[in-house]
Amino acid sequence: MLAIIRDRKRRFVYAGLIPILLLFSLIYVYPIFSAFFVSLHDWELLSKTHNFLAFKNYLKVFQDAVFKRSFYNTLYFTFVYLFFTLVIGLSLALFLNSLVKPFQTILEVILFLPVVTITVAGALVWKWMYNPSFGVINYLLGILGMGPFKFLASPKIVIPSIIIMALWKWIGINVIIFLAGLQSIPEEFYEAARIDGASAQFLFWRITLPLLKPTLEYIFVTNILAAMQVFTEIFMLTYGGPGISSRVVAFHIYETGFRFLKIGEASAVAFILFAFILIVTAFQFRIFKREELY
């Protein structure tokens, strides 16, 4: 009798899941297969014929110098951004963690404000701040006897300039997550180590960092995913320029698909980016799983 009731309940649950699974398939699964199908064709929007090309779009993308540069820029952006977001984010979180409550909360709010600011609006403000003639950054650097720098006009410093803006925008969320991770570490661990005469460095390397591993893992994965898909900052600040100096893969997809209407080629680039992110993410999970530190 109990088994029959359980079976009925299970069937009811499965039946209840059908609408949401259908919706999920329609919104997520179908577009993925559809995009892959499109990527195998010479598919241009507004064109009536779509010839099957097999993997020619993929080969074309790999031979395209503009895509290669976009990919290089994406990696450059991702790794530099990731390094600084981890170092600055963790340092700020440690600093905030050492403060008493009202000051900690005030600084948390200040750091978090850019996160809730619209990226487009933030980028416009940064565009003005970076202006070599009348931007506030060059003005301040001028007082120190430096500059003026062509932040967005020089191919050499354009990506670091965008990274600074992205760090301003997103560092707050990482600080908050780091802070939550720090506050979840039991105080007893530190007390016991201090009784044994442990130094501040020892506490950080042997207690804080190992116990922050799940937080680090989360920040690592989510920030790599976000950085690999960076778009708005580039679109607003430089439009990929000068030339292709700050062009990234997401921008390449946008321009190929929605400006040049080559949706087949754009889909192929999207799948290449997807595959790369998948491999990087799987690799990260493997590393974090293997290096079980505590």
By CB under 8 A, name the one of 243, 278, 283, 286 that touches other proteins: 243
Binding to other proteins by residue 63, rule CB under 8 A? Answer: no
The CB density around residue 90, as the number of other CB atoms within 10 Å, is 23
Q: Which stretch binds other proteins (CB under 8 A): 55-63, 183-191, 208-216, 259-267?
A: 259-267
Task: Look at residues 120, 114, 150, 156 and name the one whose alpha carbon lies nearest to residue 135.
Answer: 150
For the chain, how far is it from start to end, CA to CA, in angstroms? 47
Binding to other proteins by residue 270, rule CB under 8 A? Answer: no
> Rounded to the nearest whole angstrom, what is the least distance from the CB of residue 224 to other proteins in the complex?
26
What is the rounded distance in angstroms from the CA atom of residue 253 to the CA atom of residue 261? 10
By CB under 8 A, name the one of 30, 33, 55, 239 that touches other proteins: 239
What is the rounded distance in angstroms from the CA atom of residue 92 to the CA atom of residue 80? 18
Looking at the Cβ atoms of 239 and 285, the one nearer to other proteins is: 239
Binding to other proteins by residue 79, rule CB under 8 A? Answer: no
In this structure, is the dihedral angle defined by the CA atoms of residues 183, 184, 188 and 189, taken in order, positive or negative?
A: negative
Distances in Å between the Cα of 287 and the Cα atoms of 174, 213, 217, 272, 293 are 21, 12, 10, 23, 11
Stretch (H or E) spanning 52 = strand 51-52
Binding to other proteins by residue 269, rule CB under 8 A? Answer: no
The two three-digit tokens of residue 43, written as one number: 């598919």
Residue bearing tokens 């609408």: 19
Binding to other proteins by residue 242, rule CB under 8 A? Answer: yes
> Rounded to the nearest whole angstrom, what is the least distance from the CB of residue 46 to other proteins in the complex?
5
The CB density around residue 54, as the number of other CB atoms within 10 Å, is 9
Q: How many residues lie near other proteins (CB under 8 A)? A: 39
> Rounded to the nearest whole angstrom, what is the least distance from the CB of residue 244 to other proteins in the complex?
6
Binding to other proteins by residue 258, rule CB under 8 A? Answer: yes
Residue 183 and residue 269 in contact, taking contact as beta carbons nearer than 8 Å: no
Binding to other proteins by residue 200, rule CB under 8 A? Answer: no
Per-residue mark of binding to other proteins, 102-141 (x: CB under 8 A): -------------------------xx-xxxxxx------
Binding to other proteins by residue 164, rule CB under 8 A? Answer: no
- Residues of this chain that interact with other proteins (CB under 8 A) are 8, 11-12, 15-16, 19, 45-48, 127-128, 130-135, 148, 150-155, 158, 237-239, 241-245, 255, 258-261
